[in-house]
Structure 1
Amino acid sequence: MSTLAGLLAGAGLEPGLAGQADLSGADPALPSSFRIGEAAQASIAALGLAAASLHAARGGAMQRVAVAMDDAAAEFHSERYLQIGDTPPADPWDAIAGAYPTRDGVVRLHTNFPHHRDGILKLLGCANDRAAVAAALLRRDAIAFETEATAAGLCVSAMRSFAEWDAHPQAQHLATTPLVAIERIGDAPARPLPATASRPLEGLRVLDLTRVIAGPVAARGLAAHGAEVLHITGPHLPSIPTLVVDTGRGKRCAMLDLRDAGDAARLDALAAGADAFVQSYRAGSLAAKGFSAEALAARHPGIVVGELCAYGWGGPWAKKRGFDSLVQTSTGFNVAEAEAAGVAAPKVMPCQPLDHASGYLLALGVVAAWHRRAVEGGSWRVRVTLARTGLWLRGLGRIDGFGAVPHAPELVVEDGPFGLVRHLPHSARMSLTPAMWPRPAEPLGASLPAWA
């Protein structure tokens, strides 16, 4: 079975849909020893085919989906192609983020959010200075510091090889879980799909409570095929400006402070009109405010809840915070890429493929759950994990890939609230309903918390 057919089958869709795809190109699409191009092409095509199939189930004609591997691989680091005005975006990385040697290994710090940075500095007892951080970490052991930081709710990973990761209890737990977990979590009558529309997901509403890359990419992918996406964030929550612009296409963005009972009630009222509620907050965060998947399904039968996390919902790391760069480090990719390139220092992959692939896989799962809801009813939960996506990427095999030539795709130009913005088009080329984002990205809080 092809990679694409396997993704469709894993989501409960007909694997034969893969025959409607026109896939071109071959790895290496990016300078990596992993098949990132294949992962990008397959995950983006799977979402396109799921949307096309849903459109056909609504009475539209079935269509073909073409995805060129170079375009898909470029979309896996879409944030790097973004131009606001005449300049590329600023480097989003904090000054002390990155990999550091310790007394017995290497750790990677993620400090892009101020509270994460300040927590690391407090733990190390040093100044906000890269040299001071480096000196402090040379007095620490890698695993011990990772454990201490994890217990403090901070974002640190010790570097492991694949063999070391595979022996870890969290890896052994993830090996027993599906890539895209789709679970019925409540009863509800079958909900017929909206009548035929000009776009596959038109008329379906998505609440997007996600940040950074993976979750926002999922919601952006759904918007590309016509879903109405309302992004909700809090006025007190940090963000990364470049990513707000890159992943905000096709969405309206509103502010609600869930610490306020009135705003929590407003979110619940929005959920009553939503077809999907997608979130990527740390485990238990939204549940404590009454927005667990089970609570949402009880109050709003028929809703599809999409959830995304770094390391999974079971096992010893169920509550460990993480980002793509950290998961690459802890699960063996930095060591493997360094070995393949013949270098001693930790080597990152050329993009953040665990984030982007997980985003498209989560969107695939949401559309697959809408298929099921239309036929058999029910409320559904879809779960995707960055580390489990990494296991899938490993399973695609290795190549001699460091000679790949960067792709130079044509950019789309739009004029909106951020001025003149140039960005990548969506790489899934639909034969009948072109994927697009009619709404340009807008600042956080620019819209009211209401459906259009």
Structure 2
Amino acid sequence: MLGLPPDHPQLNTADREEIVKFFANEVAKYDANWLDTTANEVYRQAGTICYTPEEFAQTEQGKAIKLQGLWITEAVNTEKLPVVPWPALKDQNLRPLAGVKIVDISRVIAAPTITRILASLGATVIRVSNSIEPDYGIILLETNLGKYDMRINLKTPEGKKELAHILAEADVILDGYRPGCMERLGFGRQAVHEMALNRGKGIVYARENCYGWAGPWSPRSGWQQISDCVTGVSWLQGKFLGLDEPVVPLLPNSDYQTGVIGAIAIVQALHKRAHQGGSYNVDVSLNQFNIWYLDLGQYTDTQRADIMVKYPDLHLHHTDEMHFLVKKTIAVMLKSVGKIFGSQNFETINSPKWDVEHTGEPITMTILAPIITFDETKLNYNVGSCPPGSYDSSIGWNVV
């Protein structure tokens, strides 16, 4: 796209600042609008101009989604499909979603977080992965908690048959891929709702994307950093830090916040199915969260000063990619609010599937404990985390 060679021997011994400067100088040779259009529309790569909130509001995309709520729910075939009672499954921890079956076709953070939360509420989650699209390994440790990961190639007749067999018993399907991908594979909303009609039992079809589900940019791919920059959140973060540059905020993280929103929306849709019948569509996006977040308003100058005085060593810049951002932020948090990393806020779970070298040694993961507790209900996962393809896809729900 930029005409650069794939290898740069002169950078092999360069430090981070030299590498950043080299590529910044190359990118500066091009117009921002050209970069945006070429990356997204020609090469189909995620990227965006960093807008202010006011600038984004004036784009066609901003206008198209400005009135959308945190999530969108649509009823389908309510007159044709009966109510579906909650599963009569005895769960010793009294979790509300015990017996609910969810198919997770997503990757990276926001969408997988939706189903991870639902798994902690008792749902059985089959995550469909493949050997073509790479997974973000360190994130997968967390996002695959409570899930049964099965590798299925949806571009083959055999793979399509396996997924159709799994969907036949599913209560929820989550699509976290680029808009239109599942339609091309034969498992878009229309096809799945037709399947639900044929079986006589409604299904919740949830989707998560970056840009929102209306407007000219809705088909584009994108991640947390893209949404934060396109909606103007990053410019406000930089301003908060006293800078004249955008900075991607690590907290609150729009990926994880969208995960929480998606989980709430799906539970609501399941509740409607249990009382009104029908199938349901649920749409969430990173941009929907960020627009809502911006509408909450900003800290006053006094509040900002009080916060910044607690973190004198926090020095962030627009060149800080996510790994560097995490490293800097955690280092400062350990100094200023180290108690939140205390053992009382964590618990352990056995995850033997991560014994990829088959040593037979126990694999114990330390994970964040539930942030709320109840007198009787205990939020936990049916199984630990696992790598892609840890379970045999041919057995489907018999994996439980």
TM-score range, shorter chain: 0.7 to 0.9
- Could you tell me how far apart the structure 2 residues matched to 1:224 and 1:342 are? 40
Q: Which of residues 196, 214, 225 is equivalent to 2:110?
A: 214
Give the structure 1 partner of residue 331 of structure 2.
Answer: none
For residues 240-275 of structure 1, the C-alpha deviation after alignment (integer angstroms, 9 at most, x for no partner) is 101111111111111000011111111011111100
Residue identity opposite 1:168 in structure 2: T
Q: Which range is displaced more, 248-257 or 412-421?
A: 412-421
1:280-295 equivalence runs, <5 A: 280-295=176-191
1:48-67 equivalence runs, <5 A: none
Q: Which of residues 262, 279, 283 is equivalent to 2:158?
A: 262
How far the C-alpha of 1:195 sits from its partner, in A, is 2.2
Q: Which range is displaced more, 183-192 or 440-449?
A: 183-192
Query: TM-score, length-normalised on structure 1?
Result: 0.70
Q: Which of residues 125, 145, 162 is equivalent to 2:4?
A: 125
Q: Which of residues 75, 82, 85 is equivalent to 1:192?
A: 85
Residue identity opposite 1:291 in structure 2: F
Residue identity opposite 2:379 in structure 1: A
- Could you tell me how far apart the structure 1 residues matched to 2:252 and 2:136 are? 15
How far the C-alpha of 1:126 sits from its partner, in A, is 4.1
For residues 120-160 of structure 1, the C-alpha deviation after alignment (integer angstroms, 9 at most, x for no partner) is xx444344564543232010122221111110210111111
For residues 48-93 of structure 1, the C-alpha deviation after alignment (integer angstroms, 9 at most, x for no partner) is xxxxxxxxxxxxxxxxxxxxxxxxxxxxxxxxxxxxxxxxxxxxxx
For residues 297-316 of structure 1, the C-alpha deviation after alignment (integer angstroms, 9 at most, x for no partner) is 11123010110000122211
How far the C-alpha of 1:377 sits from its partner, in A, is 0.6
- Could you tell me how far apart the structure 2 residues matched to 1:162 and 1:184 are? 32
1:409-448 equivalence runs, <5 A: 409-410=342-343, 411-417=346-352, 418=354, 419-448=363-392
How far the C-alpha of 1:220 sits from its partner, in A, is 0.4
For residues 360-388 of structure 1, the C-alpha deviation after alignment (integer angstroms, 9 at most, x for no partner) is 11111111111111111101110001101
2:251 is the alignment partner of 1:351: yes
**Residues 334, 424 of structure 1: alpha-carbon distance in 2 compared, 3 angstrom cutoff:** same
- Could you tell me how far apart the structure 2 residues matched to 1:137 and 1:207 are? 41
1:255-334 equivalence runs, <5 A: 255-301=151-197, 302-334=202-234
Q: Gaps (5+ residues) in structure 2?
A: 9-18, 312-335, 355-362
SS in 1 for 2:369: coil
Identify, as 1 or 2, the structure richer in strand.
1
1:107-146 equivalence runs, <5 A: 122-127=1-6, 130=19, 131-146=21-36
SS in 1 for 2:40: helix
SS in 1 for 2:127: strand
Give the structure 2 partner of residue 391 of structure 1.
Answer: 291
Residue identity opposite 1:160 in structure 2: Y
How far the C-alpha of 1:224 sits from its partner, in A, is 0.4
Of structures 1 and 2, the larger Rg is shown by: 2
How far the C-alpha of 1:228 sits from its partner, in A, is 0.4
Q: Is the 8 A contact 2:122 2:382 kept in 1?
A: no
Q: Is the 8 A contact 1:124 1:136 kept in 2?
A: no
Q: Is the 8 A contact 2:117 2:263 kept in 1?
A: yes
- Could you tell me how far apart the structure 1 residues matched to 2:153 and 2:39 are? 27
Residue identity opposite 2:389 in structure 1: G
SS in 1 for 2:84: coil
SS in 2 for 1:322: coil
2:54 is the alignment partner of 1:154: no
2:55 is the alignment partner of 1:164: yes
Q: Is the 8 A contact 1:234 1:256 kept in 2?
A: yes
Give the structure 2 partner of residue 177 of structure 1.
Answer: 68
- Could you tell me how far apart the structure 2 residues matched to 1:133 and 1:408 are? 36
SS in 1 for 2:222: coil
**Residues 209, 352 of structure 1: alpha-carbon distance in 2 compared, 3 angstrom cutoff:** farther
- Could you tell me how far apart the structure 2 residues matched to 1:436 and 1:298 are? 34
- Could you tell me how far apart the structure 1 residues matched to 2:149 and 2:119 are? 13
Give the structure 1 partner of residue 333 of structure 2.
Answer: none
Q: Is the 8 A contact 1:271 1:300 kept in 2?
A: no
2:278 is the alignment partner of 1:378: yes
How far the C-alpha of 1:292 sits from its partner, in A, is 0.8
1:60-75 equivalence runs, <5 A: none
Q: Gaps (5+ residues) in structure 1?
A: 1-121
For residues 10-62 of structure 1, the C-alpha deviation after alignment (integer angstroms, 9 at most, x for no partner) is xxxxxxxxxxxxxxxxxxxxxxxxxxxxxxxxxxxxxxxxxxxxxxxxxxxxx
- Could you tell me how far apart the structure 1 residues matched to 2:261 and 2:205 are? 14
SS in 2 for 1:155: coil
Query: TM-score, length-normalised on structure 2?
Result: 0.79
SS in 1 for 2:366: strand
**Residues 436, 135 of structure 1: alpha-carbon distance in 2 compared, 3 angstrom cutoff:** same
Q: Which range is displaced more, 205-214 or 349-358?
A: 349-358
Q: Is the 8 A contact 1:126 1:132 kept in 2?
A: no
2:303 is the alignment partner of 1:368: no
SS in 2 for 1:286: helix
Counting matched residue pairs gives 331
- Could you tell me how far apart the structure 1 residues matched to 2:122 and 2:99 are? 8
Q: Which of residues 319, 324, 341 is equivalent to 1:408?
A: 341
- Could you tell me how far apart the structure 2 residues matched to 1:351 and 1:178 are? 21
SS in 2 for 1:375: helix
SS in 2 for 1:158: coil
Q: Is the 8 A contact 2:104 2:112 kept in 1?
A: yes
Q: Which range is displaced more, 128-137 or 351-360?
A: 128-137
- Could you tell me how far apart the structure 2 residues matched to 1:263 and 1:430 are? 41
SS in 2 for 1:156: coil
Residue identity opposite 2:85 in structure 1: P
Residue identity opposite 2:184 in structure 1: A
